[in-house]
């Protein structure tokens, strides 16, 4: 029996893959491991009862490795995939484990900010600059020549950051972060990434309600 995985469907298009970066992280892991899987798209506007029975909090991704047991939490899932399917290895060396760890939270804080003086932009740029420096010294991937779980974790986050900040804040990654920009291009050019990404319009549609709520608060 193939691996089954529940992932978010696109906002307004329940037959199309949606914009969850944590779902994409797991899909990327399955793709890089060449593990066959069956994708089940979950419409967040009308979550089916069978899905709520396997994921009572309604969270995705949820995965079943063929034993009928569903597991929810992208970090747990990717760790289990590595244990069950160790080749090719995607293990991130311990010394690289914290690279980019504050990137997503810094992105969210800047996106939510309505105050240009609160330093949320500065904090995000510092995180991006740190990642740029790591890639400069250790690239082209986080762990030199080998793609690892950390790259597959960062790729969807950088994808959302790039699309969402450009659309909602007219903001782009600083041009002088050349190593980071090359890293982003490398990640987005992976065949596994192309097969698992949500289209730009669906990323924007997925974030729009959150952004509108933050702006009106």
Residues annotated as catalytic (active site), given as ranges = 20
Helix then strand then coil, in percent of the chain rounded to 5, is 55, 15, 35
Q: Which two tokens stand for residue 34?
A: 């060449």
CA distance linking residue 90 with residue 204, whole number of Å: 30
Nearest residue to 204 (alpha-carbon basis) of 166, 155, 164, 148: 164
Q: Which backbone phi and psi does 36 adopt, to 5 degrees? A: -65, 140
DSSP 139-151: -SBTBBTB--HHH
One-character DSSP codes across 64-88: E-SSS-EEE-HHHHHHHHHHH--SS
Half-sphere exposure of 130 (CA within 13 A, CB side): 14
Length of the chain: 217
Question: Contact, 151 vs 91, CB < 8 A?
Answer: no
């Amino acid at each position: 029996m193939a691996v089954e995985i529940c992932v978010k469907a696109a906002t307004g298009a329940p037959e199309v893959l949606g914009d969850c970066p944590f779902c994409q992280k797991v899909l990327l892991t399955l793709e890089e491991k060449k593990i066959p899987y069956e994708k089940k798209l979950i419409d967040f506007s009308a979550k089916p009862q069978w899905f709520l029975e396997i994921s009572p909090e309604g969270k995705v991704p949820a995965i079943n490795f063929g034993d009928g047991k569903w597991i929810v939490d992208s970090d747990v899932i990717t760790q289990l995939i590595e244990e069950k399917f160790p080749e090719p290895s995607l293990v991130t060396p311990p010394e690289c484990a914290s690279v980019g760890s504050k990137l997503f939270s810094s992105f969210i804080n800047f996106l939510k900010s309505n105050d240009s003086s609160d330093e949320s932009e500065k904090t995000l740029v510092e995180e991006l600059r740190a990642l740029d420096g790591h890639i400069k010294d250790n690239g082209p991937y986080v762990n030199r020549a080998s793609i690892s779980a950390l790259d597959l974790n960062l790729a969807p986050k950088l994808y959302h950051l790039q699309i969402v900040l450009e659309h909602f804040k007219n903001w782009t990654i600083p041009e002088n972060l050349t190593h980071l920009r090359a890293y982003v291009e490398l990640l987005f050019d992976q065949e596994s990434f192309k097969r698992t990404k949500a289209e730009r319009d669906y990323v924007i549609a997925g974030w729009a309600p959150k952004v509108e709520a933050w702006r009106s608060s």
